[in-house]
Amino acid sequence: MTSATMQALVWTAPREMQMQTQDIPTPQPDEVLIRVAYAGICGSELSGYLGHSALRVPPLVMGHEFSGTIAAVGSAVSDDLHEGQAVTVNPLYCTEPSEYQERGLDQLCPSRRLIGAHRPGAYAQYVTVPASTVTVLPDTVSLRTGAMAEPVGCAVRIAELAGDVAGQDCLVIGAGPIGLLAMQTLLLKDAGRVFIADTDGERLAMGGALGGVAIDPKADDVVSHVHDATRQRGVVVAVDAVGLAITRAQCISATMAAGTVIFSGLHEETSTVPAADIIRREIVVRGSFAYSPANFAEAVALLAEDKVRLDPWIVEAPLADGGKWFDRLIDAPGNVSKVLLQPPA
Ligand SMILES: [Zn+2]
């Protein structure tokens, strides 16, 4: 396989994607070569594509939400992994031990690396990954579903940080993939009602169809709507899956005293928030970043039990059309919850 080549979708400059022929990479002793089946497009990659992410530098093969089959294993890889296995990958890994890793919080390691940012990702027919990042898919999880493990992991983390929400009302602002999945992981923790708000009507409709109580910010003030619906109490947990000053502030205002606001969306680097209100009502504001290894494992288990979904709004598209889908998701996502790119067979 030394001289064999593959097709890869390369991000070459802001708003530029190109299919290129590259050598199929050779796995290092502790690496696995995966033949990619599905690779999802992540919101963080949309900002990367626009050139707004310091983490991503062109030319780059992105793609960190993916599944595939093992095509080759390095000489030092354990027997548990072998050719032909259907797998997904936790794309965040640490290169140096740290106190965070000891606490099971690999996502906070100073040495963390992301496949598809620090090294070539899965928008290609093949990708090499450290063997430690590989999870063999249970028989009940298809390759298509397995590609969802990474975003589901983000939603598992959000629900973990939300604490006890049983019987309590919650709010999620943003009905993109993470908002839609976080709404579902909150409901799986027996949340009462989960209100969901999004300015895009089609995305909002997905939120309603997946079990949320839709609030249309264009027709209705999100905060007053939540207050009216909760007898002026507010929600116990509000999740911002957008990351704008207004959505961050709305989450704080809609949360009850001593409640929790979780910031997940990264749209704006810096925002003004109502700090005095946070103080006077003792609101807990928490960041939620990616997922721990335990969250990722739980995500695979949830998928195996068919407990979370973005269907029927998942679009499968040829890898060669990836650039078009990046543009579409940025300009007018509409009736699409997730785009899964498929490299040529
Ligand atoms: Zn992602």
Please name the helix (run of DSSP H) or strand (run of DSSP E) that holds residue 36, with its range, or none: strand 31-40
> Of 117, 123, 116, nearest to 9 (Cα)?
123
150 Cα–ligand 1 center, Å: 6
Residues 18, 142, single domain; the answer is yes
> Tell me, what CATH number does 198's domain have?
3.40.50.720
Average pLDDT over residues 3-11: 94
Cα 285 from Cα 237, distance rounded (Å): 10
pLDDT in tens, 136-188: 999 999 999 999 999 999 999 999 999 999 999 999 999 999 999 999 999 99
Q: Determine whether 252 is exposed, middle or buried from the number of CB atoms within 10 Å of its CB (0-12, 13-18, 19+).
A: buried
302 Cα–ligand 1 center, Å: 17
Residues 252, 327, single domain; the answer is no
User: Does residue 163 belong to any structural domain of this protein?
Assistant: yes
185 Cα–ligand 1 center, Å: 17
334 Cα–ligand 1 center, Å: 19
Give the model's pLDDT for residue 3: 63
Residues 187, 263, single domain; the answer is yes
User: Does residue 298 belong to any structural domain of this protein?
Assistant: no
Q: Which residues neighbour 57 within 8 Å (Cβ) at sequence distance 6 or greater?
A: none
Pairing of strands 92-94, 86-89: unpaired
Residues 178, 277, single domain; the answer is yes
Residues 169, 184, single domain; the answer is yes
On the question of pLDDT at 336 being above 80, the answer is yes
User: Does residue 296 belong to any structural domain of this protein?
Assistant: no
Band (54; pLDDT cuts 50, 70, 90): confident
140 Cα–ligand 1 center, Å: 23
145 Cα–ligand 1 center, Å: 15
Backbone φ and ψ for 242, nearest 5 degrees, come out as -120, -65
> Tell me, what CATH number does 109's domain have?
3.90.180.10
User: Does residue 262 belong to any structural domain of this protein?
Assistant: yes
Please name the helix (run of DSSP H) or strand (run of DSSP E) that holds residue 211, with its range, or none: none
Cα 309 from Cα 145, distance rounded (Å): 9
Cβ(93)–Cβ(117) below 8 Å: no
Give the model's pLDDT for residue 333: 86
Domain with 113, as residue range(s), is 5-148+310-342
Average pLDDT over residues 294-312: 97
pLDDT in tens, 65-102: 999 999 999 999 999 999 999 999 999 999 999 999 99
Residues 65, 112, single domain; the answer is yes
- Of the residues 272, 287, 302, the one at which a domain ends: 287
Cα 326 from Cα 332, distance rounded (Å): 10
User: Does residue 173 belong to any structural domain of this protein?
Assistant: yes
CB atoms within 10 A of CB 230: 19
User: Does residue 61 belong to any structural domain of this protein?
Assistant: yes
225 Cα–ligand 1 center, Å: 31
User: Does residue 182 belong to any structural domain of this protein?
Assistant: yes
Burial letters for 294-329: b for 16+ Cβ neighbours within 10 Å, e otherwise? ebbbbbbebbeeeebbbeebbbebebbbbbebbebb
Give the model's pLDDT for residue 74: 98
Cα 114 from Cα 96, distance rounded (Å): 14
Cα 7 from Cα 35, distance rounded (Å): 12
Residues 140, 183, single domain; the answer is no
Residues 202, 274, single domain; the answer is yes
Residues 137, 161, single domain; the answer is no
Q: Which residues neighbour 303 within 8 Å (Cβ) at sequence distance 6 or greater?
A: 141, 145, 146, 148, 149, 152
Q: How far from 59 is each of 42, 49, 167, 266, 321, CA to CA, in Å?
A: 18, 11, 48, 23, 18
pTM of the predicted protein model: 0.97
On the question of pLDDT at 1 being above 60, the answer is no
Please name the helix (run of DSSP H) or strand (run of DSSP E) that holds residue 275, with its range, or none: helix 275-280
Cα 192 from Cα 179, distance rounded (Å): 17
19 Cα–ligand 1 center, Å: 21
219 Cα–ligand 1 center, Å: 31
90 Cα–ligand 1 center, Å: 10
User: Does residue 230 belong to any structural domain of this protein?
Assistant: yes
Q: How far from 241 is each of 55, 268, 329, CA to CA, in Å?
A: 20, 12, 16
What is the count of structural domains for the chain? 2
Cβ(273)–Cβ(245) below 8 Å: yes
Residues 10, 135, single domain; the answer is yes
Residues 33, 107, single domain; the answer is yes
280 CB-side CA count, 13 A: 6
- Identity of the amino acid at 241: A
Cβ(38)–Cβ(144) below 8 Å: yes
Cβ(183)–Cβ(158) below 8 Å: no
Residues 215, 279, single domain; the answer is yes
Cα 111 from Cα 98, distance rounded (Å): 8
43 Cα–ligand 1 center, Å: 7
271 Cα–ligand 1 center, Å: 22
Give the model's pLDDT for residue 334: 86
Q: What percent of the chain has pLDDT over 90?
A: 97
On the question of pLDDT at 28 being above 50, the answer is yes
